[in-house]
């Protein structure tokens, strides 16, 4: 599996196998919901120091960055993986407890195992293989363990304001194939106000549901943007809320959240320009109603105490299938893994969108299966993690070569 890697390095990777798996288990056993990544960040920092990274630091937002210094002959490279994970939901629905990190049937189980503590452990150990052997990659290698990806990517968006590598690899699940982009995600909120009254006399009020019912129905008639690779944009109404908890009162306000997945090239301005006339028409049909359409902004608090108002937007992106970075990545991986490597696109949005928006060409390589992500079957095959470690080590050695 280690193709052209010299024998010495192959044996170091072999020695790293079991400490990498134990490290991954420790990460899974440490819960780290968005905004609560402090304990995991401490484990990551300590492990990078133990592995002999040249420098390790934690930025104001709580991102942990490890540096393996390059020879200065090539491009700087960032491996990017997030430390947070989604909520595990009902513990009883899981085959193994969500924070157990247990290994059964060759798989390491738990919330975050696939998304993405497994890939994160593999990239941290790839940097560790080089650090331990005092091998300098062509350009500086930054391994970035970031915060708050699951709530929009605050960590990466802040990180790239102060650290701009020339190329990047995001470790979201690709089943060890190579990804070149994804649709974006824009969360919108439509807020409609009417007039609240006793539900026994609805005609004396203005019911905001009447507007939103029309609006939601018309979403199905929208002509959505198309893309040859990524299919078409989609829109799904998700959360629906009113200002009432009593079921015998006509609410004064109702709002619906929309999850819009945009193909590359479609901006948030385009989306608003398409939706606003639809909302205006629905408002006009219900006398006395008012409403607005906004990109949803969350107030996020990092575990380090920073508070940021953050728009829930992941930019879309797509590198061409014949982009030099895509071809180079595919060639390096196919050679070292001794098998064909497919070029794929992700179904979901990643921090790659923020990296690309900051001008950093980004590919994806993640040792985990996408269909395990955000499910109670979340787990990662141990052999896939080991293959991931080999892949990351080769990418660290090769991607930065030449300009």
151 close to 83: Cβ distance less than 8 angstroms:
no
Q: Which residue is nearest to Zn ion (CB)?
A: 115
Q: Name the minimum Å distance from CB 173 to Zn ion.
A: 7
176 close to 385: Cβ distance less than 8 angstroms:
no
- Give the CA angle between residues 350, 356, 361 to the nearest 5°: 110
Residue closer to Zn ion by CB (options 115, 166) is 115
* H or E element that contains 371: none
Q: Name the minimum Å distance from CB 44 to Zn ion.
A: 16
Q: Name the minimum Å distance from CB 150 to Zn ion.
A: 7
- Give the CA angle between residues 347, 96, 36 to the nearest 5°: 65
User: Is position 116 an interface residue for Zn ion (rule: CB under 5 A)?
Assistant: yes
Q: Which of residues 324-343 bind Zn ion (CB under 5 A)?
A: none
Per CB under 5 A, which region of 18-26, 115-123, 226-234, 317-325 contacts Zn ion?
115-123
Per CB under 5 A, which region of 52-60, 124-132, 166-174, 256-264 contacts Zn ion?
166-174
Torsions phi, psi for 113 (to 5 deg): -60, -45
Task: Give bridge partners of residue 363 from the DSSP assignment.
Answer: 169
DSSP 195-258: B-EETT-GGGSB-HHHHHHHHHHHHTT----EETTTEE-EEEEEEEEES---TTEE-SEEEEEE
Binding mask 124-163 for Zn ion (x = CB under 5 A): ----------------------------------------
Q: Name the minimum Å distance from CB 387 to Zn ion.
A: 19
User: Is position 78 an interface residue for Zn ion (rule: CB under 5 A)?
Assistant: no
Residue closer to Zn ion by CB (options 251, 364) is 364
Residue closer to Zn ion by CB (options 136, 180) is 180
- Terminal Cα distance for the chain, rounded: 28
User: How many residues lie near Zn ion (CB under 5 A)?
Assistant: 3
Look up residue 143 and give its DSSP letter: E
Q: Name the minimum Å distance from CB 79 to Zn ion.
A: 14
User: Is position 59 an interface residue for Zn ion (rule: CB under 5 A)?
Assistant: no
Residue closer to Zn ion by CB (options 9, 146) is 146
Residue closer to Zn ion by CB (options 116, 160) is 116
Give the C-alpha separation, 366 to 115, whole Å.
9
Residue closer to Zn ion by CB (options 59, 115) is 115
List the one residue out of 251, 257, 259 whose CA is nearest residue 209: 251
Q: Name the minimum Å distance from CB 81 to Zn ion.
A: 8
Q: Which of residues 277-316 bind Zn ion (CB under 5 A)?
A: none
Q: Name the minimum Å distance from CB 277 to Zn ion.
A: 35
Give the C-alpha separation, 24 to 40, whole Å.
11
Q: Name the minimum Å distance from CB 312 to Zn ion.
A: 15
User: Is position 115 an interface residue for Zn ion (rule: CB under 5 A)?
Assistant: yes
Contacts of 218 (CB under 8 A, 6+ apart): 278, 281, 282
DSSP 63-129: -EEEEE---SSS--EEEEEE--------GGGSSS-TT---EETTEEESTTIIIIIHHHHHHHHHHHH
Residue closer to Zn ion by CB (options 37, 115) is 115
Contacts of 348 (CB under 8 A, 6+ apart): 172, 182, 185, 370, 373
Q: Name the minimum Å distance from CB 373 to Zn ion.
A: 7
User: Is position 380 an interface residue for Zn ion (rule: CB under 5 A)?
Assistant: no
Binding mask 167-186 for Zn ion (x = CB under 5 A): -----x--------------
**CA distances (Å), origin 103, targets 31, 122, 251, 382, 400:** 18, 17, 50, 8, 35
Residue closer to Zn ion by CB (options 172, 187) is 172
68 close to 400: Cβ distance less than 8 angstroms:
no
Q: Name the minimum Å distance from CB 218 to Zn ion.
A: 33
Per CB under 5 A, which region of 112-120, 175-183, 331-339, 358-366 contacts Zn ion?
112-120
Residues that bind Zn ion (CB under 5 A): 115-116, 172
């Amino acid at each position: 599996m280690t193709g052209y890697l010299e024998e010495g390095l192959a044996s170091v990777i072999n020695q790293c196998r079991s400490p990498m798996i134990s490290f991954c288990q420790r990460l899974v056993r440490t819960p780290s919901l968005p905004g609560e990544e402090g304990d995991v960040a401490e484990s990551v920092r300590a492990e990078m120091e133990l592995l002999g990274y040249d420098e390790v630091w934690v930025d104001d937002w709580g991102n942990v960055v490890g540096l393996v210094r390059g020879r200065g002959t090539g491009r700087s490279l960032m491996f990017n993986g997030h430390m947070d994970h989604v909520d595990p939901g009902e513990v009883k629905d899981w085959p193994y407890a969500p924070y157990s990190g247990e290994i059964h049937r060759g798989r390491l189980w738990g919330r975050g195992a696939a998304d993405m503590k497994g890939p994160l452990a593999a990239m941290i150990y790839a940097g560790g293989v080089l650090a331990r052997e005092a091998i300098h990659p062509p350009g500086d290698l930054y391994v970035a363990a970031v915060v708050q990806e699951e709530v929009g990517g605050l960590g990466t968006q802040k990180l790239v304001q102060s650290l701009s590598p020339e190329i990047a690899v995001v470790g979201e699940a690709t089943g060890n194939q190579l990804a070149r982009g994804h649709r974006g995600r824009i969360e919108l909120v439509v807020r409609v106000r009417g007039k609240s009254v006793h539900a026994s006399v609805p005609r004396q009020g203005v019911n905001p549901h009447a507007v939103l019912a029309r609006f939601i129905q018309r979403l199905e008639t929208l002509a959505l943007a198309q893309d040859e690779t990524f299919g078409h944009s989609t829109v799904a109404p998700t959360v629906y809320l009113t200002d009432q908890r009593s079921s015998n009162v006509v609410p004064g306000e109702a709002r619906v959240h929309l999850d819009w997945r945009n193909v590359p090239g479609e901006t948030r301005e385009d989306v608003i320009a398409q939706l606003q006339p639809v909302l205006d028409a629905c408002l006009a049909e219900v006398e006395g109603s008012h409403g607005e359409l906004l990109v949803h902004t969350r107030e996020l608090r990092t575990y380090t105490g920073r508070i940021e108002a953050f728009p829930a937007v992941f930019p879309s992106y797509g590198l061409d299938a014949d982009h030099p970075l895509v071809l180079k990545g595919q060639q390096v991986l196919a050679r070292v893994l001794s098998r064909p490597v497919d070029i794929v696109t992700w179904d979901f949005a990643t921090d790659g969108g923020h990296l690309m928006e900051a001008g950093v060409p980004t590919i994806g390589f993640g040792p985990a299966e996408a269909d395990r992500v955000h499910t109670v079957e979340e787990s990662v095959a141990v052999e896939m993690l080991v293959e991931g470690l080999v892949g990351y080590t080769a990418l660290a050695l090769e991607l930065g070569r030449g300009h």
